[in-house]
């Protein structure tokens, strides 16, 4: 049994681009005795781990469950008591549909010290990399971030509420519900509203489809877009700027 204080640090790994992780997150990874990491993180980040750290893949994404959530919770406690500092490395931000709060609630029952390192969420980073401003004067005054699929595998009722607003709507984990999303927005006479679907946002294999509510299903089929992807709906998609990856180009030069 370890004499180290059992600690859990829930760390946001960012949206995918390795450079979009924070310095505080890197320091947590370097200090970890055990790292439990998800399927959506960039595994290049594991190079910051100590050579003595135990790395455990607990992949969670649609159709890929190496561990159930209850098993992950129990594993965190067991490893923290055995080895000390456990880092739970999650894609994006751990408190935005990342279940980080649930894991903290569970482990506190067992006396673990808990910390959180925020991460950059794909909900804002992926549109930004595509030159889509979620808010812009004259186009959008606010934005919603919604999960497309609830715990019961149904579409969130908030999508229908958001469709009635003038806000930008960002839907995570919504590709399997795209047909329903289109139906909901069409019912609000928003067939001509702009929509973007960004697959693997901020990564080298990023793909994007731009269209309207009326055309997006055909575009998804043509471009063979699939999960993991985020959906951005609203006039801001028409404000999309053509961006050059200046920093990347400079490194290559």
Q: How far apart are CA 87 and CA 89, in angstroms?
A: 6
Q: How far apart are CA 252 and CA 31, in angstroms?
A: 32
The 3-state DSSP composition of the chain as helix, strand, coil percent (nearest 5) reads 35, 25, 40
Catalytic residue among 17, 33, 60, 93: 60
For residue 168, the surrounding DSSP H or E stretch is strand 168-172
Question: Is 38 a residue of the active site?
Answer: yes
Question: Is 60 a residue of the active site?
Answer: yes
Cβ neighbourhood burial of 46 (10 Å; 0-12, 13-18, 19+): middle
Catalytic residue among 38, 83, 90, 177: 38
For residue 86, the surrounding DSSP H or E stretch is strand 85-90
For residue 9, the surrounding DSSP H or E stretch is strand 7-12
Q: What's the maximum distance between 2 C-alpha atoms anywhere in the chain?
A: 63
Question: Is 173 a residue of the active site?
Answer: yes
Catalytic residue among 33, 79, 173, 175: 173
Q: Could you list the active site residues?
A: 38, 60, 173
């Amino acid at each position: 049994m370890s004499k180290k204080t059992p600690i859990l640090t829930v760390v946001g790994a960012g949206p995918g681009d390795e450079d979009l992780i924070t310095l505080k997150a890197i320091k947590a990874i370097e200090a970890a005795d055990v790292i439990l990491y998800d399927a959506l993180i960039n595994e290049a980040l594991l190079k910051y781990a100590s050579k003595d750290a135990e790395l455990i893949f607990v992949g969670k994404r649609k159709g890929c469950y190496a561990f159930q959530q209850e098993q992950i919770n129990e594993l965190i406690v067991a490893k923290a008591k055995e080895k000390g500092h456990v880092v739970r490395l999650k894609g994006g931000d751990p408190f935005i549909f990342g279940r980080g709060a649930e894991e903290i609630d569970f482990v506190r029952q067992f006396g673990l010290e808990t910390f959180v390192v925020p991460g950059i969420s794909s909900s804002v980073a992926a549109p930004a990399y595509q030159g889509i401003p979620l808010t812009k004067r004259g186009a959008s005054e606010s934005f919603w971030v919604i999960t497309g699929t609830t715990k019961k595998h149904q579409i969130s009722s908030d999508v229908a509420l958001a469709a009635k607003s003038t806000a930008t709507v960002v839907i995570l984990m919504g590709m399997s519900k795209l047909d329903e999303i289109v139906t909901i927005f069409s019912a609000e006479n928003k067939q001509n509203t702009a929509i973007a679907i960004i697959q693997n946002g901020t990564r080298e294999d990023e793909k994007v489809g731009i269209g309207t509510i009326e055309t997006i299903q055909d575009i998804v089929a043509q471009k063979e877009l699939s999960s993991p992807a985020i959906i951005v709906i609203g006039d801001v998609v028409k404000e999309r700027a053509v961006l050059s990856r200046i920093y990347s180009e400079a490194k290559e030069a």
